Structure 1
């Protein structure tokens, strides 16, 4: 079972210790720490960031993080980072089948494949969108990204995420966020795992403002949880894999890096159960904008226009009167990357399967497939419960460029546009 504290990392300081008295009282860096530990600060924002936005934690560990060997460049595999110039970025609608499950033992790091990117990781703008499909433990390998925080969205299988700050069990229907620079390992629990990752190069994710909704609704702070401190005193050699400036490097450690005995602060991994999201929706008419389903947002310098939004479409009631209920046809300044965790998405009844993905870029028109339009336009409207569905969207102000793998792999559905071929003109001059 997880050993968790249900207190969010969003600006609330948290403290936890695996040994009594390991956490200093009254100051962060005493001359000598109990248990002969080292004090080390971990900062994921600038020191001088405003107090409400500042994220940092003090860790008390067996050794400082610098107790390691030099990094050496290793092969990037199918991992890519913005700005990506291998291929052009087409304005076409794009869709993919799920990344296949591995036929042999593959761990989390080796399974990573980048589907799309935008922005510039070195400038700390934009994101990378990856998939994982793993079947093996990472053993004594450890991973972290210096390029961005990692939002992990499982689609298949349970996993144990071991981090410097503690451990998280993660299942389908939950998400986890690993801050930029935090070392972690992912191990499947019962069979293979598959899912999606948003590597956020920009501002760390925060809860969106509720605006006129008021004090309640959407995702609530109380439902996000940190791991409690957990450590291992393990002298077994480990390999540290670092994603830095778009490339993968590895360094040798003579010990486990999971040696934090206590920590205090507000920059740490956290997880969230998506079923706790309090959906807001219309009870009169018209389909609201999908922004009402925003769980987390990474703001940009342009207020109200996100670097990345993480949006979900969970089970919910639909009661709008005299309204076309599926998502309307639209063109949008934002670019939309969608994934399906389970069930069926109401605007795409065929071809969009759990584990699959679609990309509708800035100003590329999209909306319900022809068959869905026919059905929804003629349905007898009554209150309807959408069950067995969970889709999500990574939405960004920047155009999202598919990678060479995504454009040319066998999982790309090259006939995606055909789902709109049945659209026809009904206009006959009559009202």
Structure 2
């Protein structure tokens, strides 16, 4: 993707940026008289008393305060976005979906969202929801803000042109972008765009600890990019759609609220190119747990148990001896929602397509299908490079509950992927 926009580099760093010289005050966070009559506003992504290394907030200097809006009323669009999950008893079945063919043909990013699964009430400040999107036109004179959690955008096809309160970002397939809770943004596209959204209601995504890996590896902080200040000076009606406590609401302003002229702080949107992930693996035998592929993690209150992990399976060398190289058969206390950006996934021979989705909830047995198992079992174990693929997983300690739409559109024969395994033959 052409990098035409300027960016600030680093993860969680304290940035300062201004679109108009002199708009950013020096030495004072909230002066009595900000330059040019701007309004000082702090946006906090963590509690005021959070430990310093976890405290996230930024000061925005804007043309109008965000407090200036009329009452919100229920939003009547996006009927498949945040509809709530099914209350019926959920069978412990593995589920998989083809890329949905029934999404709207004429929708922007918001109306093109469909919720597939979720696992906690957003009011609990825990859990994660998984959405798909299909957008065929840009958002015009309206924008979105999510009070329920931060949004991890994972494009599968088509570039997203994001205009946030804190600046602009371009996000193509092979990149991800994160929009913090409460930050307003607009999505422009050219043609059609499809992809995934992980909505994190819990602790903010952060880089995982490296432990015995040491100081280098996985996602490096320097590869994350945040936007420089950019603003709109537009005085015409603009709709604001807000997600709040699981429902969608709308109000209309007489101006664009993307009017932040300068900002500083360590709470900001960012983007990251997945190809920059430094994959770690074995050079002897077996292979480590998939936690070595964690890009971002949202911890829970239980140490070592993630509210949500964003994990990728990128191109990589496989060199281990005396091992079964695809993911082994396993049952896991964590629940796994998996998507495919492009290529083939090495544990499934067919049926898992780019733009599709699968769900293996806690303690459901899963692993390679028969063809993948047979091929891997008979393979000559020489160094081989897995290329031309990018799959991801949003793993959570909370079991996912699919929506009614998801249950109606799941593949009916997914369980057959594990049929016809030959029985082991013991010695007589």
TM-score scaled to structure 2, two decimals?
0.97
- For the 8 Å contact 1:279–1:316, the answer to whether it is kept is yes
- Provide the C-alpha distance between the structure 2 equivalents of 1:51 and 1:404, rounded to a whole number of angstroms: 42
Specify the alignment match of 2:425 in structure 1. Answer: 427
Alignment of structure 1 residues 216-227 onto 2, 5 Å: 216-227=216-227
Once the two structures are superposed, residues 121-159 of structure 1 have per-residue CA deviations (whole angstroms, 9 ceiling, x without a partner) of: 101010111010011111011101110100000001111
Superposition deviation, residue 90 in structure 1:
2.2
Specify the alignment match of 2:267 in structure 1. Answer: 267
Q: Structure 1: state its 5+ residue gaps.
A: none
Q: Give the aligned length.
A: 424
Alignment of structure 1 residues 37-116 onto 2, 5 Å: 37-75=38-76, 77-80=79-82, 84-100=85-101, 104-116=105-117
Specify the alignment match of 2:305 in structure 1. Answer: 305
- For the 8 Å contact 2:97–2:356, the answer to whether it is kept is yes
Specify the alignment match of 2:7 in structure 1. Answer: 4
Q: Secondary structure at the match of 2:374?
A: helix
- For the 8 Å contact 2:104–2:112, the answer to whether it is kept is no
- For the 8 Å contact 1:337–1:393, the answer to whether it is kept is yes
- Provide the C-alpha distance between the structure 1 equivalents of 2:89 and 2:189, rounded to a whole number of angstroms: 36
Specify the alignment match of 1:369 in structure 2. Answer: 369
Specify the alignment match of 2:143 in structure 1. Answer: 142
- Provide the C-alpha distance between the structure 2 equivalents of 1:114 and 1:288, rounded to a whole number of angstroms: 32
Specify the alignment match of 1:238 in structure 2. Answer: 238
- Provide the C-alpha distance between the structure 1 equivalents of 2:102 and 2:143, rounded to a whole number of angstroms: 22
Superposition deviation, residue 376 in structure 1:
0.5
Q: Structure 2: state its 5+ residue gaps.
A: none
Specify the alignment match of 1:22 in structure 2. Answer: 23
- Provide the C-alpha distance between the structure 2 equivalents of 1:229 and 1:101, rounded to a whole number of angstroms: 38
- For the 8 Å contact 1:81–1:128, the answer to whether it is kept is no
Q: Secondary structure at the match of 2:118?
A: strand
Once the two structures are superposed, residues 280-335 of structure 1 have per-residue CA deviations (whole angstroms, 9 ceiling, x without a partner) of: 00000002100000000000001110000000000000001011100000000000
Specify the alignment match of 2:344 in structure 1. Answer: 344
Superposition deviation, residue 183 in structure 1:
0.4
Superposition deviation, residue 81 in structure 1:
6.5
Once the two structures are superposed, residues 78-131 of structure 1 have per-residue CA deviations (whole angstroms, 9 ceiling, x without a partner) of: 12266x343332210100001238563210100111000002210101011101
- Provide the C-alpha distance between the structure 2 equivalents of 1:178 and 1:382, rounded to a whole number of angstroms: 42
Superposition deviation, residue 428 in structure 1:
2.7
- For the 8 Å contact 1:81–1:117, the answer to whether it is kept is no
Which deviates more, 87-96 or 56-65?
A: 87-96
Distance 1:245 1:50, change over 3 A: same
- Provide the C-alpha distance between the structure 1 equivalents of 2:359 and 2:241, rounded to a whole number of angstroms: 29
Superposition deviation, residue 426 in structure 1:
2.5
Q: Verify: 1:415 aligned to 2:417, yes or no.
A: no
Superposition deviation, residue 187 in structure 1:
1.2
Alignment of structure 1 residues 382-397 onto 2, 5 Å: 382-397=382-397
Q: Secondary structure at the match of 2:339?
A: strand
- Provide the C-alpha distance between the structure 2 equivalents of 1:218 and 1:340, rounded to a whole number of angstroms: 20
- Provide the C-alpha distance between the structure 2 equivalents of 1:99 and 1:229, rounded to a whole number of angstroms: 36
Specify the alignment match of 2:156 in structure 1. Answer: 155
Superposition deviation, residue 7 in structure 1:
2.2
Q: Verify: 1:182 aligned to 2:183, yes or no.
A: yes
- Provide the C-alpha distance between the structure 1 equivalents of 2:386 and 2:229, rounded to a whole number of angstroms: 39
TM-score scaled to structure 1, two decimals?
0.96
Q: Secondary structure at the match of 1:122?
A: helix
- For the 8 Å contact 2:86–2:402, the answer to whether it is kept is no
Q: Secondary structure at the match of 1:68?
A: coil
